[in-house]
A and B are shown apart, each in its own frame.
Chain A
Amino acid sequence: MSQPLGYYISGSPAAAALAQEYGDQLQNMSLDEKLLAIKAISGALLDSLIHRDCEPSIDAQILRHIDDGDPVDEGLQESLTALDGCDETQCFALLTALIAYSSEEFRRFGSTEAVGEPAKGSQLDWEPDFS
């Protein structure tokens, strides 16, 4: 992996610290594990938006997944459950970081830090040469 997960998190030192702590586990996930993590984090955030009275729980999402008969690696479950210590902003930062990290194309395209600008070498970075 060219960059640690934390590299893709900007504007949230707390989330970057979490990525530092759980980064090895999260960034070495297989595609299906990443998809599960994205599903669990987005599900927890969605729950908290729909039901304002409930705290978002990634742990609850994972347990529901296991209840449906799909096994989850113990280490992965532990790392994801630990993310319940994050607040909503940190969860969003981790979600976007995970999504960005899931794609080789996006890693080439640029980090989420550079999302406001076209990537170097992209067609919008090209300027005509009239010389």
Chain B
Amino acid sequence: MYNHIGFYLAMKVSQPLAAEFGDRLERMTKAEKLLLINILSGVLHELETTLVESYTTAQYISAQGIHPDVVGNLMPLLERFDEQDFSTNQTIVMVLGLSLQDGGQSKKGDR
């Protein structure tokens, strides 16, 4: 089976990106994946609908009033996503979304 995040990142974007994010994304729980999708799609929506040139995940988290405990140890990863361009983050949302099909069963269990 090729149904894993690293495979999609490698197929769609590039090997370096897959190496950097693939394993980390793949080991996430369903809740973590949903949180990333929610935050990244929110940031992309903000960039798409406003004239701002940059909008960070931290700004979105603050604007949405998402509690720091919810984001937890994902913050360093989110900051790395801030360094990526719109298209790459769109791809990350897509691979995360596809990994959630069938309810996003996680290997290490869900919160």
Interface centre among A35, A49, A102, by most chain B C-beta atoms within 10 angstroms, is A35
Q: Which residues of A contact B100 (CB under 8 A)?
A: 92, 95-96
Q: For the complex, what is the distance from the CA of A95 to the CA of B38, rounded to whole Å? A: 11
Q: For this complex, into which size category does the number of interface residues on chain A fall? A: 35 or more
Q: Which residues of B contact A106 (CB under 8 A)?
A: 94, 98
Which residue numbers of B lie inside 8 Å of A, CB to CB?
1-3, 11-12, 30-31, 34-35, 37-38, 41-42, 44-45, 48-49, 63, 70, 90, 93-94, 97-98, 100-104, 110-111
Contact between B94 and A115, CB atoms less than 8 A apart: no
Q: Which residues of B contact A115 (CB under 8 A)?
A: 3, 98, 101
Interface centre among A96, A103, A105, A124, by most chain B C-beta atoms within 10 angstroms, is A96
Q: Which of A43, A105, A117 contacts B38 (CB 8 A)?
A: A43
Instruction: Indicate with 1 or 0, residue by residue over A108-130, a CB within 8 angstroms of chain B CB atoms.
Output: 01001001111000111000000
Which residue numbers of A lie inside 8 Å of B, CB to CB?
11, 31-32, 35-36, 38-39, 42-43, 45-46, 49-50, 68, 70, 88-89, 92-93, 95-96, 98-100, 102-103, 105-106, 109, 112, 115-118, 122-124
Q: For the complex, what is the distance from the CA of A49 to the CA of B45, rounded to whole Å? A: 23
Number of contacts between A and B (CB, 8 Å)? 89
Interface SS of chain A: helix, strand, loop or mixed?
helix
Contact between B110 and A100, CB atoms less than 8 A apart: no
Interface centre among A11, A92, A117, A118, by most chain B C-beta atoms within 10 angstroms, is A92
Interface centre among A49, A109, A112, A122, by most chain B C-beta atoms within 10 angstroms, is A49
Q: Which residues of A contact B103 (CB under 8 A)?
A: 88-89, 92
Q: Sort A-B residue pairs by CB-CB distance and give the 8 closest, nearest first.
A: A99-B97, A35-B45, A39-B41, A46-B34, A42-B37, A42-B38, A96-B101, A38-B41
